[in-house]
Structure 1
Amino acid sequence: MNIKYFYITLLVLAFSCSPKTTIKPEDNQAKGPIPLLTIGNEDIFADEFLHILSKNRSFQTKEEQISKKEFEDNFDLFVNFKLKVKEAENEGLDEVDEFQKEFSMFKEDLIKPFLIKNSLQEGELRKAYNRMQEVVKASHILLQFPMNANGDDSLAVFRMAEKLKSDSENGANFNELAVEYSEDPSVKDNKGSLGYFTALQMVYQFEDAAYRLQPGQISDPILTEYGYHIIKLEDRKPNPGEILVSHILVRTQTNDPVVEERALRKVGDIYTELQKSESIWEEVCNMYSEDMGTKNTGGKLPWIGIGSVIPEFEKVAFNLSEIGEISTPVKTPYGYHIIRLEDKKPIPSFDDMEEMIKSKILRDSRSSLIKSQVSAIQKSRYSFDENDQLLDSMRNIFKNNQKQTAIEQIANKPWKEEMIISIQGVQKPVSEFIKFINEDSQIVRVGTKEYFTAWYDKFVEVNLNEAEEKDLEANNKDYQLILKEYRDGILLFSLMNHKVWQKALEDSLGQVAFFEENRDKYQWDDRFEALIVKMGKDSRKDAVRRFLADKKYQDNLETRLENTFLNDDPLAFTIQNNIFEIGSHPVLSRATTDKSFQELNIDGKTHFVILGNKIPAGPKKFEETRGKVIQDYQEHLDKSMIATLKENYIIRINEEEKNRVYDIVTKN
């Protein structure tokens, strides 16, 4: 968020500090809501005031309630805020392009928590995190489809999968069936066993099926992008979290018994060496490990979790229990490893893992699942209908023609203005769909879909999303309030920037005139020339004291001090050298004015002070206080604007409604 958006939020929340309303509005009488106040011809209701007031507090306890004075101050601020928004609207600031672009950008972020998509995504995030509390161990048999498979081929694969499930449930050894029938390339090494894994490490359909099983159970055939799987769950247990390990590797060569024997002797000798009390792991690793990427750093590997490394290594590493414990040599496809446990940690909290989980979910098949669920809910909620006959006609035209030719043919059809889809009774004609394609303003990934289907699906998605957004704006009170809050905030910023902040910065004549009218506000108190040395190193304190003790304040004293000490030791001390108001200065306010050289101890730090001439209290020059003048001038312009607005607009306050709100939020 850039600085402009920061100020928008700051202005809106001038008397609040959190984005969530916690007060439950009371039901109004059947005749409808009663305005809290009216500015001009616009009614403003209590729920808006409560929304902005209820930041970080619910007013349910005495501690959260506010005093009568706080309530009145906040109410006055609210009235002033709404006056400025009304003025911004009357000046047409809500119609300029810049406002429309900024407000649209804000809406994109503000609406996200209210969307169907968000609630479904949140559910998937929680489900994945909850599953990550466990690890499961499974074996599987994979049956793939033949090339260019037709419906009969797919059915045959499915029936074979069902038969293998039945055979295993009737006593056949699952892993032997895997070796005989599975088309997973790794089956010759693992006999179908996948070891332990947790959520987000397998394709979603596979994960979902595995986590629904109990140990010993076998799944029905599960379809994934790889084919049909039959899954047998072997174990499930709590997730041990992550571990940090280092290792020493001795490599081997497949099918070379001589090299294998030599490697086995070498790793055995290394293990024996590590048992000696005088041995140092890092030195042994540097000397003998054949992992070139880690041998110079003590063999350290990144943090690992269940399912993130090969099973042989994982099993031994996670069986280490004490920090510094060393494993016996373990064989993997890379060679022989000796593993040392360096550290361990539990699964992080949901808040810490949320972004990582979300990133993975948005990249796997869950994202398509969420998208299809959103579409189904939207279609049901917003009375979606489509013209199947027209869709078939259009699909055939696109299938048999190039894109532009298809578009031209459809444009000449007598049914081009007929309904293609309907949402909440609002009909969208074929011509609008063709316009949607021609504008080409959407990102449409055709992929394996036909061109027509891809664009039609996007057309439906965009229109359903628009319907949901309109529904939220019309019917969701929380969204209405937060949307209005930010809309009004942008308008407030624009008005203040134009009539107060920028005007005060750019109006040099107005600054000088304001300064001349208020000269009595810009006065110096008694000031002194002063050099202040704050010691950074006590070891240099005596030398600096001796240097300064007989010195008088003079222009070149700072340079002499720096040349004497800071050239060799830049951190010995820091220096302030200027004319200071003695009464308000944190160091000089503790000094006495009748001594030139003084030593003060403030907050445990030694300060040396050399005082020069006293400059009596007197008026400031404009150049000496321009920043403060601009700040005061801005405040003056703001107050003047509010006064003018209160003259220009009729403000009517409903005291009965105001008292009702008062009773909710104040201490009784």
Structure 2
Amino acid sequence: MNLKKLFFSFAIFVTFAANAQTKSKDILFTIDDKPYYTDEFSRVYKKNLDLVKDESQKDLNQYLELFIGYKLKVNKAYKLGLQNGQAYQNELKSYRTQLAKNYFNDTKITQELIEEGYNRLQKEVRASHILILVDENAAPADTLVAYNKLKDIRNRILKGEKFEDLASQLSEDPSAKDNKGDLGYFTAFRMVYPFECAAFTTPKGEVSKIIRTRFGYHILKVNDIRPNRGEVTVAHIMILNPKPEDEDQNKAENTINDIYKKINQGEKFEELAKQFSEDKSSSTKGGVLNKFSSGQLSSEEFETVAFSLKTPNEISKPFKSQFGWHIIKLIEKHPVKTLDEMKFELENKIGKDERSKKIVESLNEKLRKKYKFKKETKQVAAVAKLVTNDVYEGKWQIPTTGIDENATILTIENKKVDTKKFLEFVEKQQKATAPIKPVAKLVDALFEKFTDEQLNAYYDENLETEFPEFSYVMEEYRDGLLLFDLMEKEIWNRSKTDTLGLEKFYEANKNSHMWKKRIEATIFSSTKKDMIEKALALLKKGSSPQEIKDKLNTKEVVNIMINANIFEEGNETIPKGTKFEKGVSPIIKEGEYYFATKVDKVLPEGVKTLEECKGKLTNEYQQYLEQHWVDELKGEFTVKVNQDVFNKVKADLKL
């Protein structure tokens, strides 16, 4: 699905909205006599005008070509029957479900939950807990046993026994044996909602009341409360951990220590990161990482050191994580965002959290007021007579006789819901229902839940009718999804598997894929001119790079650093003025650094092999195939443009 999201984003200028049913019925063009109207074209053009980067796409003649090309592809997809594919239908259904969530919200309740969550995000709580497991739908007797067991534990703590000792001995959380129930620091949205509420309402040093979650019964002790550390931006230099087969297992540690000595000698962190950091995603940026918050990275060691730095430009000592050796430089600390900045993010979190039940309850109440519905009391009573005590053990089955399953049991507006659906609901819910007794009361309680479910279903079924914008977006996604599947089938898969076609395309375009001049070289660098002069002298005598390092570097001071690789002309790592010719270059000064370069081999300009440019070439081949494919579609379908109508549209849009 990520690739599809990327595709829709990339192709924004051809992601068209659905046909709007307006009074304007001027036909702009037809494809095999199927009409496409001016109102859609105008609306889409205006919608995307500020989003496109290519000026040619703002030209109305060019835009019409893009629009027709898009519609031709969609027509081709329908012609191939892609709309009948199970994967397509499942994807469309999933998207509709996701989109519909926006309409199942309660603004007031949501705002209250947003404010509560934001207020809690200002703090991080460190808590320990004791858990006694009990199933959500356990029988009352089993629930009571679990509750009383935890109650006894809590009383022992209140009388003076240590929380940590009892957590280690009696908690049914498997990790408690090792961590004594300590969960570390966490903030809002990290724990299930009832547990979070207890953590943020229990005073520091005290033990909470007994709380129930879907896992069982808990008590927790709040060990500490601190302000949320917010986010931090750092730069780092990383040397990867050695591989098991590497001979020198201390190389990474020795290298990071050498770099740290260079920093303490006054050399710039950013330059050293560019030269030596093995985190290629950040090295070219001087080691700068995207900002992050507590728990966001997969290395606790890295986070601990990063957040321990206090002032900008402060640099950590070398330390080891599971990924390698690091040195961190603090760039900036970012406090927790404002409520306005976090509103959208918090709303998404609430929708995925147990607290969303409050929103559901509010919506149910509104739908009961919105729609007319009628309960058939006699039919509900008839169902109650068929439900036996087996329902409490989850063993009840729908009887085959004794009731008319087709009889209406609930009416919502003009929609009639038959008894069979309620019987199936009872059978499905019996394991997930609190054991209300007697059976008649249980059936009544289940019917209330059933009514809410059916009201929600009716509301969902009518979203397209009640909200035109919902209909438009769904139509847009429907066609966009078809287009993705079609492009994958007709273009992308072909470009990956058509090796002969790709080779032919390469031969016709290989001069567009050239290597610049390259050198196989070793670059020596130092901030001390005398040291680079000594390195140069040793080079000329035939000393190896390692021998030069051994002679010029000491345990306390790193005077020389070495970077050996193949460098292409224009590479920023190469000192400016380096001659692309075999031999040892004169000393070059750049900023605070002195460089000497030994070129072992010069690789001339030349055409890249197919393998060397395959990624870029494949993308170009895809574009080539698509361009010619649209021409083929114009021959397969009959396209007729109403030029007079188009001229009027152009005049209107240029006003």
Q: Secondary structure at the match of 1:7?
A: helix
Residue aligned with 1:518, SS: helix
CA deviation profile, 1:508-550 (whole Å, cap 9, x unmatched): 333223223334434445x242426374x635x6424532368
**Identity, % of aligned positions:** 18
Distance 2:576 2:606 in 1: 19
Please report how far the alpha carbon of residue 363 of structure 1 lies from its aligned counterpart in structure 2 after TM superposition: 8.1
1:43 to 36, 45, 51: 36
Q: Is the contact made by 2:118 and 2:339 (CA closer than 8 Å) also made in structure 1?
A: no
Q: Provide the residue aligned with 1:547 in structure 2.
A: 535
**Distance in 1, Cα, partners of 2:109 & 2:560:** 57
Secondary structure of 1:533 counterpart: strand
SS in 2 for 1:577: strand
RMSD: 5.4
1:471 CA displacement? 1.7
TM-score normalised per structure 2: 0.54
2:498 counterpart residue number = 507
1:634 to 622, 634, 641: 622
Q: Is the 8 A contact 1:375 1:461 kept in 2?
A: yes
1:496 aligns with 2:491: no
Alpha-carbon distance change, 463 to 590 in structure 1, aligned in 2, over 3 angstroms: farther
Report if aligned partners of 1:446, 1:454 keep a CA contact under 8 Å in 2.
no
- After TM superposition, give the deviation of residue 427 of structure 1 in Å: 1.3
Contact 1:35 1:46 in 2 (8 A): no
- Which structure: larger Rg? 1
Letter in 2 for 1:639: Q
For residues 435 and 645 of structure 2, the distance between their equivalents in structure 1, rounded to whole angstroms, comes to: 59
Q: CA deviation at 1:347?
A: 10
2:252 paired residue number = none
The alignment status of 1:643 with 2:643, answered yes or no, reads no
Task: Indicate which of 85, 91, 100 corresponds to 2:74.
Answer: 85
Amino acid at match of 1:43: Y
Superposed, which structure 2 residues align to 1:375-414 within 5 Å? 375-398=364-387, 402=391, 408-409=398-399, 411-413=400-402
Matched, 1:625 2:613: yes
Which residue number corresponds to residue 527 of structure 2? 538
**Corresponding position: 1:3 with 2:2:** yes
Aligned to 1:105: 94
Tell me the amino acid that sits aligned with residue 497 of structure 1. Answer: E
Cα deviation code 1:565-585 (max 9, x no counterpart): 7997899646252263x3687
Q: 1:612 to 1:490 in 2, by over 3 A?
A: same
2:470 maps to 1:479 = yes
- 1:283-432 to 2 correspondences below 5 Å: 348-352=338-342, 370-398=359-387, 402=391, 408-409=398-399, 411-413=400-402, 415-432=404-421
Q: How far apart are the structure 1 equivalents of 2:7 and 2:337?
A: 39
Taking structure 1 as reference, are residues 397 and 475 closer, same or farther at Cα in structure 2, changes over 3 Å only?
same
Distance apart, 1:419 and its partner CA: 0.9
Q: Secondary structure at the match of 1:421?
A: strand
* Post-superposition offset of 1:390: 1.4
Decide whether the 8 Å contact of 1:524 with 1:617 is kept in 2.
Answer: yes
Shift of 1:497: 2.4
Greater Cα shift, 489-498 or 610-619: 610-619
- Could you tell me which of 65, 77, 83 is aligned with 1:94? 83
Compared CA separation, residues 649 and 359, structure 1 to 2 (3 A): closer
Provide structure 2 residue ranges, at least 5 long, that are not aligned to the other structure: 121-192, 195-224, 229-334
Superposition deviation, residue 644 in structure 1: 1.7
User: CA separation in 2, counterparts of 1:123 and 1:473?
Assistant: 26
Give the direction of change, closer, same or farther, for the CA distance of 1:642–1:11 in structure 2 (3 Å limit): farther
- What's the TM-score once normalised by structure 1's chain length? 0.53
| Number of residue-to-residue matches in the alignment | 445
Distance in 1 separating the partners of 2:487 and 2:385: 58
Change (3 A) 1:357 1:633: closer
Counterpart of 2:519 in structure 1 is 529
Give matches, 1:63-462, under 5 Å: 70-72=58-60, 74-115=63-104, 117-119=105-107, 121-125=109-113, 348-352=338-342, 370-398=359-387, 402=391, 408-409=398-399, 411-413=400-402, 415-438=404-427, 440=428, 444-446=432-434, 448=436, 450-462=441-453
Aligned partners of 2:20 and 2:39 also within 8 Å: no
Name the CA distance, whole Å, in 2 between partners of 1:46 and 1:557. Answer: 74
In 2, the alpha carbon distance for the partners of 1:346 and 1:630 equals 44
How far has the Cα of 1:418 moved from its partner?
1.3
Match of 1:575 among 557, 560, 563: 563
Q: Give distance in 1, aligned partners of 2:559 and 2:648.
A: 62
8 A Cα contact 2:375 2:411, kept in partner: yes
Consecutive unaligned residues in structure 1, runs of 5 or more:
59-63, 133-202, 205-241, 246-344
Say which is worse superposed, 347-356 or 645-654, in terms of deviation.
347-356
Change (3 A) 1:477 1:512: same
Once residues 635 and 430 of structure 2 are traced to their aligned partners in structure 1, the CA distance between those partners, rounded to angstroms, is 49
Deviations 1:76-113 (A, max 9, x none): 44443333333223222222222222222222222222
* CA pair 74-530 structure 1, distance change in 2 beyond 3 A: farther
| Aligned AA (2:618) | I
